[in-house]
Amino acid sequence: MVSEIALYFIANFVLFAVVLVGWFDIRRPDRLPAKVAPGLAISFAAVQGMGLIWSGARLGVLSMAQLWLAIMLMIEVAVLLCCVLERKVAPRAATPIVATLAFVIHSCVLILAPPPSAVAVSISPLARNTWYLLHVVGLLVAWGAYVCAAGGAIAHLVTVSLGRGRDRMTQTPQRNHQLFWLRALIFAFPWLTGAIFAHALWTYLTWGSYWPWRPSGIWPLVLWLTLVLTLHMGTRPRWRGTTGALLTILGLTVALLTLPLLSQGLTAW
């Protein structure tokens, strides 16, 4: 158990290094090789991935619905997606802010939340269903994409705030940040949609109803509606900037508030 938790703390230190390197690269872009930050991010994903595999083997795959492990998997997705989007959109588009946001969430769960144990993760036979597992995986991947998107949205708001009066100098970074968080949300959309459908099928097979009015099912739908609204605004030039960025940050807030509800399905209510 000590070695397993140690992997998550090592991953936290590596993520902190990603934050430091990312901000230093913004200040002094010519001082570091271009592959240092992506290499550290991949190292974080590798170390934490080993921890997640260890936890999954010890507690079962469905234990990823527990708050502690859910956040670990969510941050894993956020960092990996950020690496992909950084290469496809623009170098240093929003990586330092995404890494900082991921580090804060990661550190909070390490410090404040107790790690899962075999006793704490008691899984009901009703939850041992493929559709429930798909529901959990879909939500965590979508929420990880939301962490990445929120980092790009914050970068956009900072750029807009600092760029008043010199719009020509900040026009390209603003476009890059918009493209960054929009692509992250586009990635989140099919995963969140699939998670809601998987939840409906699981509840139907378990209780004979596609939609029980419970918080664990309602809040993902609220997040889905927020995501659809944000993506729709992304097609409107007047609304795709600050308003879309604020909606993205609101969506991440909803996702983080919904995280504790995910483990309710383990006991099948």
- Other Cβ atoms less than 10 A from the Cβ of 165: the count is 7
Query: pLDDT-based confidence at 165, cuts 50/70/90?
Result: very low
By C-alpha distance, which of 205, 25, 195 is closest to 97? 25
Q: How far is CA 263 from CA 120, 195, 215, in A?
A: 11, 15, 12
48-103: per-residue pLDDT in tens? 999 888 888 888 777 787 888 889 999 999 999 988 888 777 656 678 899 999 99
Placement of tokens 């992506």 in the chain: 38
Q: Which domain holds residue 197?
A: 2-267
CA dihedral of 94, 97, 98, 102, whole degrees rounded to 10: 170
The number of domains in the chain is 1
Positive or negative torsion for Cα 82, 158, 191, 77: positive
CA distances to 45, 114, 121 from 5, rounded to whole Å, are: 15, 11, 16
**Which DSSP letter does residue 115 get?**
P
Residue identified by tokens 């670990």 is 72
Q: Is the pLDDT of residue 141 over 70?
A: yes
Average pLDDT over residues 265-269: 58
For 208-234, where are the alpha helices, taking DSSP H only? 215-233
pTM of the model: 0.87
Rounded (to 5) percent helix, strand, coil in the chain:
80, 0, 20
